[in-house]
Amino acid sequence: MGGKKGGESMNWMDMSLSMYQDALASSEPTPGGGTASAIALGQAVGLTRMVSSLTLGNDKWESGWSAARLAEEVCAGMYERCGELAQMDSEAFDRVMKSFRLPKSNDDEIQSRRLEIRQSTLNAAEVPFETVEHGMKLLGCLEDLASRGNGNAASDVGVASLLASAAVKGALFNVEINLQSLPPEMGESMRLSITQIRMDCSEVSRRVMHAVHNRIQG
Could you read off the pLDDT of 12-58 as tens digits, one per residue? Answer: 888 999 999 999 999 999 999 999 999 999 999 999 999 999 999 99
Q: Does residue 39 contact residue 30 with C-beta atoms inside 8 Å?
A: no
Q: What is the mean pLDDT of residues 110-125?
A: 98
pLDDT of residue 6: 38
Distance CA 64, CA 56 (A): 8
Confidence of residue 203 (pLDDT cuts 50, 70, 90): very high
With b meaning 16 or more CB within 10 Å and e meaning fewer, what string describes 11-36? Answer: ebbebeeeebeebbeeeeebbebbbb
CA dist., res. 206 & res. 12, Å (int): 31
Q: Which of 3-12, 107-116, 206-215 has the lowest mean pLDDT?
A: 3-12
The pLDDT of residue 3 is above 60: no
The answer, yes or no, to whether residue 139 has pLDDT greater than 50, is yes
With 0-12 CB in 10 A as exposed, 13-18 as middle and 19+ as buried, what is 63? Answer: exposed
Distances (CA, A) of 215 to 51, 62, 156, 207, 211: 14, 16, 12, 12, 6
Q: What is the pTM of this model?
A: 0.93
pLDDT per position as a tens digit, 148-157: 999 999 999 9
Architecture of domain 35-217: Up-down Bundle (1.20)
- Distance from C-alpha of 177 to C-alpha of 33, rounded to nearest angstrom: 11
